[in-house]
Amino acid sequence: VAYSEAKSPDGLNIADSSEADNKRKRVVVLGTGWAGTSFVKNLKNASYDVQVISPRNYFTFTPLLPSVTCGTVEARSIVEPIRKIVKKKSVDIRYWEAECFKIDPENKQVYCRANQETDLNGKEEFVVPYDYLVIAVGARPNTFNTPGVEENCHFLKEVEDAQKIRSTVVDCFESACLPTLSDEERKRILQFVVVGGGPTGVEFAAELHDFVSEDLVKLYPRSKDLVKITLLEATDHILNMFDKRITAFAEEKFQRDGIDLKTGAMVVNVTDKEISTKEIKTGKISSMPYGMVVWSTGIGTHPVIRDFMRRIGQANRRALATDEWLRIEGCDNIYALGDCATINQRKVMEDILAIFKKADKDNSGTLTVKEFQEVLNDICERYPQLGLYLKNKRLHNIVDLLKDSKGDVAKESIELNIEEFKTILSEVDSQMKNLPATAQVAAQQGAYLANCFNRMEECEKNPEGPLRFRGEGRHRFRPFRYKHLGQFAPLGGEQTAAQLPGDWVSIGRSSQWLWYSVYASKLVSWRTRVSVISEWIMRFIFGRDSSG
């Protein structure tokens, strides 16, 4: 029977686990986005009873969302039902379409609410007990509590958002044609404002510019001189996370294209017809009328996560803090990954004594170069900032490192005491930075965690591990390491900027083709791949669709 009579103390139905025998550990996964899906896809160990919970029963390929806003690609081509993804697996995975609204770590259960329109006779809420909990609920748009944003702006986070943007753009062009309007009103309606000069805002502005100049002005010739796209950014430059050359190219291209780029402008208020900004340097407030605003200024925290953070003493943070094994500190068997989490990387300086003791195998109180060299890889694994430091300073081994900090006194025969060891490594922690909130990070974390779960039993039997520090003896897995494969910034007009590992920058048509091929190959299924590619071809031949 797939129905459980059991009730939780607060009278809610408990998700039935009679299908699974009691020996199997229950793994509950929250979210079917990049992190959650990647976890589920890579889980191969059939000894788990897996339940996936998410209010959306599909995965979204977010890098192509901006293309959906202008009909370059259809919405259905970038989503894949989660049931199709899990059906192919040998592992038994069940899915519940529901939203988790409370996490209860004391009793090891999550509270969920079904979000279908069906009448469930008061059974829409239920609790799901877990042995392991994987939190991958992502983030939500951040309005910074700016008045009027929630009510008047479009966001670009979900497929529905992209579809709504598309129909609003076309609506604006149709409205501006109506015979009753004055020129002033037409101008207002055709004023499109994008807030946020990050990769998403920039790509959307570029995509919108192409849609307008390649397709819409041909159909609405009179709107040609009235339409205007404005991009607002609070800092001094757009695409801050990219190489300066890419930022400069993008800013110039936008200027040539006639996209009005206003940097140093912070939005302070949005009404139904006007958006007000404050010039950061002068504090001057000015307002402009608009037809549509798209808000894309970064990410904030889901209420369920904020509530959970408060309960576990992590209040006042933007994201859940985990250790390098993606486990939430201070919780038992709870993992967090993707946009809802950040890794609290340990500092070399915090552990400097332990590192020294570990390296000093003969307990002599000093380190020889050989002793140091022997643990270097282990230290780099536990503290990736050291590897980064060596790479950035082009140091190839310990002798280089010693020379760099001590001048020419360094010799192979030198012995270091703890104070000297501290001095040499004192700058290393400055290389630490948080991982970006990207699909690339989320997907790698999902795959990493699944691999840990696949090997859990084996590792419990044969504990292994690199350098073990105080209190960390039970880590049997290597810590998560992010491998950056590069990043694209599509800028419209078949021009894309690419920043590849090793700070290799390429801008132009060739990177656009690289973009096409990378994203086509990364799509989740052959169905989505075939449709996206044929839609790209259709767009080249017939242009974008403007009905709506």
Which residues of this protein are in contact with ligand FAD, per CB under 6 A? 30-36, 53-56, 62-63, 65-66, 99-100, 136-138, 156-157, 200, 302, 304, 338-340, 437-440, 442
CA–CA–CA angle 82, 84, 88 (5° rounding):
120
* Pick from 108, 83, 105, 85: nearest CA to 95: 83
Please state the closest distance from residue 360 (CB atom) to Mg ion, in A.
4
Q: Is residue 295 within 8 Å of 153, Cβ to Cβ?
A: yes
Q: For residues 415 and 372, is the Cβ–Cβ distance under 8 A?
A: no
Figure out which of the listed residues 31, 105, 141, 384 binds Mg ion, where binding follows CB under 5 A.
Answer: 31
Min CB(478)–Mg ion separation in Å: 19
- Residue 277 binds which entry of Mg ion, ligand FAD, none, with Cβ cut-offs from 5 to 8 Å by kind? none
Q: How far is the CB of 307 from ligand FAD (least distance, A)?
A: 10
Rounded to a whole number of angstroms, the minimum distance from the CB of residue 257 to ligand FAD is 20
54 binds, among ligand FAD, Mg ion, none (CB under 5 to 8 A by kind): ligand FAD
Residue 33 binding Mg ion, by CB under 5 A: yes
Strand ranges in 224-337 using DSSP code E only, listed in sequence order: 228-233, 260-263, 265-270, 274-279, 285-289, 292-295, 299-300, 320-322, 334-336
Contact between 417 and Mg ion by CB under 5 A: the answer reads no
| 320 touches Mg ion by CB under 5 A | no
Angle at the Cα of 42 from the Cα atoms of 451 and 381, rounded to 5 degrees: 35
Q: Report the nearest approach of ligand FAD to the CB of residue 40 (Å).
A: 11
Which string of x and - marks every residue 364-383 that binds Mg ion (by CB under 5 A)? x-------------------
**Cβ-based nearer residue to ligand FAD, 69 or 223:** 69
Cβ of residue 33: shortest distance to Mg ion, in angstroms?
Answer: 3
For the bound state, the minimum distance from the C-beta of residue 410 to ligand FAD, rounded and expressed in Å, comes to 42
Q: Which does 384 bind (CB under 5 to 8 A by kind): ligand FAD, Mg ion, none?
A: none
Residue nearest to ligand FAD (CB): 33
Identify whether the C-beta of residue 366 lies closer than 8 Å to the C-beta of residue 357: no
CB atoms within 10 A of CB 298: 16
360 binds, among ligand FAD, Mg ion, none (CB under 5 to 8 A by kind): Mg ion
Footprint on residues 68-107 left by Mg ion (CB under 5 A): none
Sign of the C-alpha dihedral computed for residues 287, 229, 246 and 441 taken in this order: positive
Q: Which does 390 bind (CB under 5 to 8 A by kind): Mg ion, ligand FAD, none?
A: none
In the complex with ligand FAD, which residue's Cβ is closer, 425 or 442?
A: 442
| Residue 66 interface partner, choices ligand FAD, Mg ion, none, CB cut-off 5-8 Å depending on type | ligand FAD
Minimum distance from residue 359 beta carbon to ligand FAD (Å): 37
Residue 53, sorted as left (phi over 0), alpha (psi -120 to 50) or beta, turns out to be: beta
Helices 398-406 & 369-382 angle (0-180, nearest 10): 100
Residue 338 beta carbon to ligand FAD: minimum distance, rounded to whole angstroms:
2
Which residue stretch of 58-66, 114-122, 174-182, 518-526 sits at the interface with Mg ion (rule: CB under 5 A)? 58-66
Rounded Cα–Cα distance for residues 464 and 475 (Å): 8
HSE (CB half, 13 Å, CA atoms) of 109?
17
Contacts of 459 (CB under 8 A, 6+ apart): 452, 476, 477
**Residue of 45, 51, 60, 499 interacting with Mg ion (CB under 5 A):** 60
- CA–CA–CA angle 263, 266, 267 (5° rounding): 125
Among 99, 207, 324, 360, the residue binding Mg ion under the rule CB under 5 A is 360
Q: Does 36 bind Mg ion (CB under 5 A)?
A: yes
Residue 200 near which of Mg ion, ligand FAD, none (CB within 5-8 Å, type-dependent): ligand FAD
Dig out the tokens for 357 from the structure: 């003791």
Tokens encoding 130: 């877990």
DSSP secondary-structure letter at 436?
Answer: P
Task: Give CA–CA dist 79/304, Å, rounded.
Answer: 25
- Rule CB under 5 A: which residues touch Mg ion? 31, 33-36, 60, 136, 341, 360, 362, 364
